[in-house]
Structure 1
């Protein structure tokens, strides 16, 4: 039996809440009409947090995250970036090096509006410094037809965009071969974005009726076949 055809493109267009959005291979979501870039689970300073606890993990992830954000800003010119929770990983992430890197990055992008929808890690790490000029709000934050949240949920009137789960899906090859990939996951009322941050891990989501998965790999996003 032939394998099902998978539509693919560097970025994948979807229509949610009557709006055109682009699922980006950088594990972000772009809303062209609103000129808004949605980012979930940045977890700035996670590696620094582990090193503070004595774990010999490599450094450089904060600069990698910020460099990837720079690339998205350069290619899409957003008017606003909405962080869907977990901006800083923990209180231990607030090192001078991390905060200086964030301040330098924000200074370069000082004309872009930025909003953080608080997540569970934000409650422990604390809000970003006021000098970063990031508006901090609780979920849900309503923007156009979207309810911007950290935790997946449903909303009475708006389509939910959320993070928190760090979703990954499993693709199967011949025999016992398989691979796990970050993914976007959506149903009729909400979508969950993959974690943007480096060094974040992922949670394997099981398929459910009415749910679509969009895998991210090799600088491409593609729609997986619908569940039977």
Structure 2
């Protein structure tokens, strides 16, 4: 197998060799402890997801864990949202695959399509990242920690990319696709502060921010250097 090529970043997602990867959609997450989706959230998630599929025309879409938010119930809007994701993939001719995360205990209630413990893109392994991956790869694409970076008092969702993170392999962590997730500020975090066991050296993690307004990626120095600049 060959390692997937250069990633393309777009709206909290990443594209690698014809596969679109999103993570931590947390469908069903509400505000104030309610499990109901706030007005507009269902539409916003589906619209952004559909726009990504339309722009990149992937052969496959992988949800890298935590498609759902609640561990115990599945409110009606969740069904509608998941159906919207399925519809977007079906109309684009893309195969939708779910890699379960730690929140996906109720997945069977809304999803009867393909699930995989990990999805492969060449020698890249896509998993949720909450536990040791079931397969070895030269690169791991994960979610789980919902990374954000704080710059001049503003928090921005970010990707984190680092070589030699897990058993000598690169780790690419994507931000939560759901904008309701505030995320964790990674500026001062050390490896032990991350929930994912795949993060081992935060000094070498490079934050990448997707600037929606400019439709471009903004790259920053590795966190070890970035901390010294603050």
> What is the TM-score when the length of structure 2 is the normalising length?
0.75
Is the Cα–Cα contact under 8 Å of residues 28 and 77 in structure 2 kept in the other structure?
A: no
Is the Cα–Cα contact under 8 Å of residues 24 and 67 in structure 2 kept in the other structure?
A: yes
- Residue in structure 2 matched with residue 180 of structure 1 by the alignment: 155
Structure 1 residue 144, shift from structure 2 partner: 1.0
Please report the RMSD computed on the Cα atoms of aligned residues, expressed in angstroms. 2.6
Structure 1 residue 204, shift from structure 2 partner: 1.0
Is the Cα–Cα contact under 8 Å of residues 45 and 178 in structure 2 kept in the other structure?
A: yes
Structure 1 residue 108, shift from structure 2 partner: 4.5
1:19 lines up with 2:5 in the alignment: yes
CA separation in 2, counterparts of 1:169 and 1:213? 8
Q: 2:21 aligns with which of 38, 54, 61?
A: 38
Specify whether residues 156 and 73 from structure 1 end up closer, same or farther in structure 2 by C-alpha distance, changes over 3 A only: closer
Is the Cα–Cα contact under 8 Å of residues 88 and 128 in structure 1 kept in the other structure?
A: no
Structure 1 residue 93, shift from structure 2 partner: 5.6
- Residue in structure 2 matched with residue 197 of structure 1 by the alignment: 178
CA separation in 2, counterparts of 1:38 and 1:52? 25
Secondary structure, aligned partner of 2:108:
coil
- Residue in structure 2 matched with residue 163 of structure 1 by the alignment: 143
Structure 1 residue 42, shift from structure 2 partner: 0.7
Structure 1 residue 179, shift from structure 2 partner: 1.4
Structure 1 residue 27, shift from structure 2 partner: 0.8
Count how many residue pairs are aligned between Structure 1 and Structure 2: 197
Structure 1 unaligned regions, length at least 5: 1-16, 173-177
Secondary structure, aligned partner of 2:125:
strand
Q: 1:29 aligns with which of 5, 11, 14?
A: 14
CA separation in 2, counterparts of 1:181 and 1:52? 25
Secondary structure, aligned partner of 1:195:
coil
Does 1 or 2 have the higher relative contact order (CA < 8 Å, sep 6+)?
1
- Residue in structure 2 matched with residue 10 of structure 1 by the alignment: none
CA separation in 2, counterparts of 1:170 and 1:48? 23
Q: 2:70 aligns with which of 68, 90, 107?
A: 90
Structure 1 residue 102, shift from structure 2 partner: 2.7
CA separation in 2, counterparts of 1:165 and 1:59? 26
- Residue in structure 1 matched with residue 221 of structure 2 by the alignment: 225
- Residue in structure 1 matched with residue 193 of structure 2 by the alignment: none
- Which protein is bigger by CA-based radius of gyration? 1
- Residue in structure 2 matched with residue 141 of structure 1 by the alignment: 119
Structure 1 residue 119, shift from structure 2 partner: 0.6
Specify whether residues 72 and 18 from structure 1 end up closer, same or farther in structure 2 by C-alpha distance, changes over 3 A only: closer
